[in-house]
Amino acid sequence: MFGFKKLKFSNGKNDFLSGLTVALALVPEAIAFAFVCNISPLTGLYAAFIVGLVTSVLGGRPGMISGATGAVAVVLASLVLEHGVEYLFAAVVLMGVLQLMAGIFRIGKFVRLIPHPVMLGFVNGLAIVIFLAQLSQFKNGTGADATWMSGLDLGVMLGLVILTMVICFFLPKLTKAMPASLVAIIVVTLIAIGLSSANVYHCRTVIDFVKMLDPNVSTLKGGLPAFHFPQVPFTMETLKIIFPYSVLAAAVGLIESLLTLTLVDEITETRGQGNRECLGQGTANLICGFFSAMGGCAMIGQSMINIKSGGRGRLSGITAAVALLAFVVVGSSFIEVIPVAALVGVMFMVVISTFEWSSIRIMKKIPKTDAFIIILVSGITVFEDLAIAVLVGVIVSALVFAWKKGSRIEIHSETNQEGSKVYHLRGQLFFGSARNFSDLFNPAEDPDDVIIDFHYSRVHDHSGIEAINALAERYTRLGKTLHLIDLSPECARLLNIAGDMVEVKIHEDLKAWHIATDRLA
């Protein structure tokens, strides 16, 4: 099913070095998302390892990075507060099962229905969310007691962030032998160590950030994740508790993963497999639930770091996951001394590369409805969440499309040699245009014999069928004969009133045209 023979490690050096860079960027976010979910940092780090490794091997998009994410953490946070962490593990298991079902039933293909303006809004909104998330690093303390940095603290923080961004921007212009973001992290870390050794200034490091979130945590060091069966009662009551959270987390995870897959497709000019990604995400989260991990999905920020650093193959994701676990098990001391400023600088570069700046330039050139959808989806992504933003964007796009198509139905009439009035219908007949279709005809003023030619029109749904039936009834009540020509066979079979009372001629070219409806009881 998964085609392991296609597992190729082309350009291994770039994939390996890029994976190391991604591993460094995964650490602080996995820790932060764990605290968002009110659980141990190791629970988030284990999720980043398991989800990252499994999706890199089984997923449908080489080069895409998955791990513990804020979208899933926010959904499951209230479950932990109300019922405890064991219910989270049970919910993640069910989340994985639901995602596996989505892959089995091939739901991943529906990501193609997401319009481009919705994609632009999603990308821009996510870039803004990533940017805003980094601003908390410029504060001292957490929660309501947090205060903005000032003086020397702010100056050093900004200086290191800017230095990281400068290295990330200019180094690729000089050489691409090593990922710029990895070089930037190493250089800034050495500078921070030098400042601290000289007693000039102590830069906030990853372990300082962890201690700020939880003073009880003294190190990131941990062992390998161990099998752990969720300690919850196996009752319908438990299912009622976890099911809503699992459904929402599964939906958010798949939407973010499939949209990230589509974005990586566009950047790399290749094509991933949406249904296979659903299977990979489901398998990863199922395993997470049995290994004390919080679950996750694709990460657009880390995926962009990987792609921009040259990571294209599955080896990059595998390297990131394995390196992350190595950092936790044996290399935690290295991760702990990395200054937060270096990671913030890398993420700021991700924001710059993720945001679709061209969408600003084209605002005046594209239809106003598309511009509105871009802004709407971006805003909802920032202030609500990704799943709601995409759902609203798709609904608004569909309504706009239906309105435009519904208003573009028209007729041209003529009288033939036999004295019959012939209407040539142009446009799509469906729920959005059914009312306009009915208003185009005036049976009282028409002659006794009328022909409606559907050669340049298509009937798409049951609303269109009912509109034809209603029109036929209007002509029949007046004792007039109505002919419908060039209808598809499916449409002719579904006609009720019109099928019995009018002549229906089917054009040979339309025999393969299928109508998207079933007869309603």
Pairing of strands 421-429, 410-415: antiparallel
Residue carrying structure tokens 């950092």: 327
Q: Which residues contact 446 (CB under 8 A, 6 or more apart)?
A: 421, 475, 480
The yes-or-no verdict on residue 500 having pLDDT over 60 is no
How many angstroms separate the CA atoms of 334 and 70, rounded? 25
Q: In 3-state terms, what secondary structure has residue 39?
A: coil
At 496 the pLDDT is 63
Place of tokens 């799509």: 428
pLDDT band per the 50, 70, 90 thresholds, residue 98: very high
Mean pLDDT of 259-285: 88
pLDDT reported for residue 162:
96
Q: Which range among 103-112, 122-131, 267-276 shows the weakest confidence by mean pLDDT?
A: 103-112
Cα 220 from Cα 217, distance rounded (Å): 8
H/E stretch holding 60 reads none
pLDDT for 50: 95
Q: Lowest-confidence range among 39-48, 124-133, 199-208, 230-239?
A: 124-133
Residue 136 has a pLDDT of: 83
Return the closest-CA partner of residue 26 out of 54, 47, 57.
47
C-alpha distances (whole Å) from 279 to each of 248, 288, 456 are 17, 14, 42
Query: Strand 147-148 to strand 66-67: parallel, antiparallel, or no bridges (unpaired)?
Result: unpaired
Residue 32 CA to residue 47 CA, distance in Å, equals 13
Tell me if residue 63 falls in helix, strand or coil: coil
Q: Cβ distance 278 to 107 under 8 Å?
A: yes
Interatomic CA distance for residues 385 and 71, integer angstroms: 7
pLDDT by residue (tens digit) across 346-395?
888 878 887 888 888 888 888 889 999 999 999 998 887 767 888 899 89
Mark residue 3 as left, alpha or beta (left: phi above 0; alpha: psi -120 to 50; beta: remaining).
left
Q: Is the pLDDT of residue 239 over 90?
A: yes
What is the edge-to-edge ordering of all strands in the sheet holding 503-505?
A: 410-415, 421-429, 449-459, 481-485, 503-505
Torsion (CA) 506, 512, 513, 518 in degrees, nearest 10: 90
- CA 78 – CA 81 distance, rounded (Å): 5
Sign of CA dihedral 438, 441, 447, 452: negative
Tokens 């919705």 belong to residue: 118
The predicted pLDDT at position 505 comes to: 57
For residue 498, pLDDT beyond 60: no
Task: Write out the two tokens for 511.
Answer: 């025999």
pLDDT: is 496 or 333 the higher one? 333
Q: Which of 169, 140, 141, 171 is nearest to 157 (CA)?
A: 140
Spatial distance between the Cα atoms of 422 and 420, rounded to a whole number of angstroms: 6
Give the per-residue pLDDT at 503.
Answer: 52
For the chain, the maximum distance between any two Cα atoms, rounded to a whole number of angstroms, is: 103
Which whole number is the average pLDDT over 478-501?
Answer: 72
Give which of 316, 318, 259 is closest to 112, Cα–Cα: 259
Q: Quick one: pLDDT at residue 519?
A: 40
Are β-strands 66-67 and 297-298 bridged in parallel, bridged antiparallel, or unpaired?
A: antiparallel
Report the distance separating Cα 311 and Cα 16, nearest Å: 8
Cβ(501)–Cβ(472) below 8 Å? yes
Domain boundaries, the chain: 12-196+211-354, 408-510
The answer to pTM > 0.85 is no
Identify whether the C-beta of residue 146 lies closer than 8 Å to the C-beta of residue 136.
yes
Q: Cβ distance 320 to 52 under 8 Å?
A: yes
Cβ atoms of 273 and 55 within 8 Å: the answer is no
d(CA 432, CA 430): 5
- The alpha helices in 37-84, defined as continuous H runs, are 41-58, 70-83
Query: What's residue 4's pLDDT?
Result: 38
Contacts 24+ apart (CB under 8 A), 236-243: 238/87, 238/90, 241/79, 241/83, 241/87, 242/79, 242/87, 242/90, 242/91, 242/94, 243/94
The topology under which CATH files domain 408-510 is Transcription Regulator spoIIAA (3.30.750)
Check pLDDT > 60 for residue 423.
yes
* pLDDT, the chain, mean: 84
**Cα 56 to Cα 456: distance, rounded to the nearest angstrom:** 49
Name residue 43's amino acid: T
Question: Is the separation of the CB atoms in 498 and 482 below 8 Å?
Answer: yes
